[in-house]
């Protein structure tokens, strides 16, 4: 079995054709989780050769022109409704590595002024849907999505730690970044306009434990052209061929 590549990318305020072209070209994903994108099918019309995104799932946020999307390279997607998070979170079921897999592209909205509260409310909704299924949740969580090393000056808010522990203890969902990098500083995924140097690590993927144990690499794509395309950097994960076969 070939390696399985998964990427998540917030394209910022609707994105552009270049966002889709570059992430497909550089990350070469089998599964792509996108946030803040216009309807990807509209970008295909600008190309001589189709971008091949007509099969992507996409829903807008309320009356906005952008929303979250899922694209799978080699299999169809059956949409899974996520009540209360329409457009912010989109779910789908697809065949990944020969196994039916539930996939969610996540862009957390603030709820009660708290992104962590929003994350917990989302998991209250998704928990009964997921059950014991093979599952991948990825995107822009708007808070730190992996445990920082002890002594990291950034530290954690209490709510972040409680959320990360809940993901593991209640749903058996593991931060894929720490599966690949058990130690070390978390790299920056967001260059917030008001504070572009602070290493926010709010973009990431959670996977069921069997999948996370098979992650062979995790990388934040940085530098050109990502610095100009969005204020978020794509994050790319790979599952190894032999290990992936065992996981599925």
Q: Which helix (H) or strand (E) covers residue 176, if one does?
A: helix 176-180
Residue-wise burial string across 5-31, b where 16 or more C-beta atoms lie within 10 A, e elsewhere: bbbbbbbbeebbbebbebbbeebebbb
- Give CA separation, 189 vs 59, 90, 142, 151, 234, in Å: 24, 21, 11, 20, 7
Structure tokens at 7: 């990427």
pLDDT of residue 247 exceeding 70: no
Class of the CATH-defined domain 4-247: alpha beta
- Give CA separation, 75 vs 71, 122, 177, in Å: 9, 26, 25
CA–CA dist 5, 208 (Å, integer): 16
Query: In this structure, what is the dihedral angle of CA atoms 25, 28, 32, 36, given to the nearest 10 degrees?
Result: -20
Q: How confident is the model at residue 57 (pLDDT cuts 50, 70, 90)?
A: very high
Sign of the alpha-carbon dihedral angle for 125, 130, 132, 134: negative
Domain ranges of the chain: 4-247
Q: What is the pLDDT of residues 187-238, one digit of tens each?
A: 999 986 656 566 689 999 999 999 999 999 999 999 999 999 999 999 999 9
Q: What is the pLDDT of residues 107-128, one digit of tens each?
A: 999 888 899 999 999 999 999 9
What pLDDT shows up at residue 206? 99
């Amino acid at each position: 079995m070939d390696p399985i590549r998964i990427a998540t990318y917030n394209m910022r305020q609707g994105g552009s054709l270049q966002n889709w072209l570059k992430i497909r070209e550089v990350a070469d994903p089998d599964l792509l989780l996108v946030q803040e994108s216009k309807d990807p099918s509209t970008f295909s019309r600008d190309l001589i050769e189709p971008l091949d995104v007509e099969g992507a799932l996409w829903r807008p946020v309320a009356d906005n022109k952008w929303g979250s999307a899922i694209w799978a390279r080699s299999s169809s997607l059956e949409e899974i409704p996520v009540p209360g998070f329409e457009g912010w979170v989109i779910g789908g079921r697809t065949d990944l590595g020969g196994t039916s897999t539930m996939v969610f592209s996540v862009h957390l909205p603030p709820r009660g002024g708290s992104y962590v509260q929003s994350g917990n409310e989302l998991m209250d909704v998704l928990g009964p849907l997921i059950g014991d299924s093979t599952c991948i949740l990825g995107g822009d969580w708007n808070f730190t999505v992996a445990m920082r090393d002890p002594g990291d000056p950034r530290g954690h808010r209490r709510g972040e730690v409680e959320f990360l522990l809940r993901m593991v203890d209640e749903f058996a969902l593991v931060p894929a970044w720490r599966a690949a990098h058990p130690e070390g500083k978390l790299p920056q995924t967001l260059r917030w306009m008001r504070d572009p140097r602070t290493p926010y690590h709010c973009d990431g993927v959670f996977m069921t434990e069997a999948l996370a144990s098979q992650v062979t690499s995790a990388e934040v794509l940085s530098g050109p052209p990502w610095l100009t395309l969005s204020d978020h950097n794509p994050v790319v994960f790979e599952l190894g061929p032999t290990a992936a076969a065992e996981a599925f």
